[in-house]
């Protein structure tokens, strides 16, 4: 879940990432062709949006083409869409939300509003393809409900036909 008005339905963020020279625990996004950064690509699809006064909120589904430290957090913040609850790359944007109930829920959210719902990879020893799926935690489901974004959750977790098999489509291919 991000702050901001995500106006396009899907797209990509292709910005190189590098360690922040002033704080090695942080990562910074560089200009598009800066040779000092590691090439990084994040694909995203907007699953739902809510017009929270002054800020906007959106539920995004992201796919990492590369796997860099803090990649989703940094790429989305660089586009002006910081994660709810991300004190490092976002800030207390809940204070700009005029709806008292929603503002309180955003302020109280105890972590980054980010969930690795599905992770797939090839096992390094066996070569088998593994797919790990984790249910969306109750705190995040509650935040989606209060923010008016819950209608996008089922869409984010299933194919267009509503089948049970999860899919990362319709994200564009690289």
Q: What is the DSSP pairing of strand 23-29 with strand 17-20?
A: antiparallel
> Beta strands of the chain (E only): which ranges?
2-3, 10-14, 17-20, 23-29, 41-50, 57-64, 118-122, 129-133
Burial label for 108, CB within 10 Å (0-12, 13-18, 19+), is exposed
From residue 117, give the alpha-carbon distance in Å to each of 27, 82, 151.
Answer: 23, 19, 17
Give just the sign of the alpha carbon dihedral 144, 147, 151, 156.
negative
What pTM value is reported for the model? 0.85
Q: In the chain, how long is the greatest CA-to-CA distance?
A: 53
CB-CB contact of 64 with 171 (8 Å)? no
Given a cut of 80, whether residue 167 has pLDDT beyond it is no
Of 80-84, 91-95, 106-110, 137-141, where does mean pLDDT reach its minimum? 91-95
Of 51 and 168, the structure prediction assigns the larger pLDDT to: 51
Q: What angle do helix axes 138-147 and 100-108 make, rounded to 10 degrees?
A: 160
Given a cut of 90, whether residue 84 has pLDDT beyond it is yes
**Averaged confidence pLDDT in the chain:** 87
Of 50-64, 101-115, 138-152, where does mean pLDDT reach its minimum? 50-64
Q: What is the CATH number of domain 2-157?
A: 3.30.2350.10
Given a cut of 90, whether residue 93 has pLDDT beyond it is no
Confidence band, pLDDT 50/70/90 cuts, at residue 97: confident
Q: Where are the alpha helices (DSSP H) in 24-166?
A: 71-78, 100-108, 138-147, 153-157
Given a cut of 50, whether residue 43 has pLDDT beyond it is yes
Of 56-60, 92-96, 155-159, where does mean pLDDT reach its minimum? 155-159
- pLDDT at position 52: 66
* Mean pLDDT of all residues in 124-137: 94
Share of the chain above pLDDT 90, in %: 71
- pLDDT at position 76: 98
Q: How many residues does the chain have?
A: 174
Can you tell me the distance from the alpha carbon of 1 to that of 10, in angstroms, rounded to the nearest whole number?
Answer: 15
Given a cut of 50, whether residue 85 has pLDDT beyond it is yes
């Amino acid at each position: 879940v991000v702050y901001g008005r995500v106006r396009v339905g899907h797209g990509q963020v292709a910005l190189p990432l590098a360690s922040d020279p002033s704080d090695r625990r942080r990562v910074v996004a560089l200009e598009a062709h800066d040779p000092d950064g590691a090439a990084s690509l994040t694909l995203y699809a907007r699953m739902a949006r809510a017009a929270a006064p002054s800020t906007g909120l959106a539920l995004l589904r992201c796919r990492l083409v590369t796997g860099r430290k803090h990649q989703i957090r940094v790429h989305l913040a660089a586009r002006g869409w910081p994660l709810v609850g991300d004190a490092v790359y976002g800030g207390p944007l809940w204070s700009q939300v005029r709806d008292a109930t929603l503002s309180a829920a955003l302020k109280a959210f105890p972590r980054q509003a980010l969930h690795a719902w599905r992770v797939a990879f090839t096992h390094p020893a066996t070569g088998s393809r593994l797919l790990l799926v984790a249910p969306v935690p109750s705190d995040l489901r509650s935040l989606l409900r209060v923010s008016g974004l819950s209608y996008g959750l089922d869409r984010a977790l299933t194919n267009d036909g509503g089948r049970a098999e999860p899919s990362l489509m319709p994200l564009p291919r690289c």
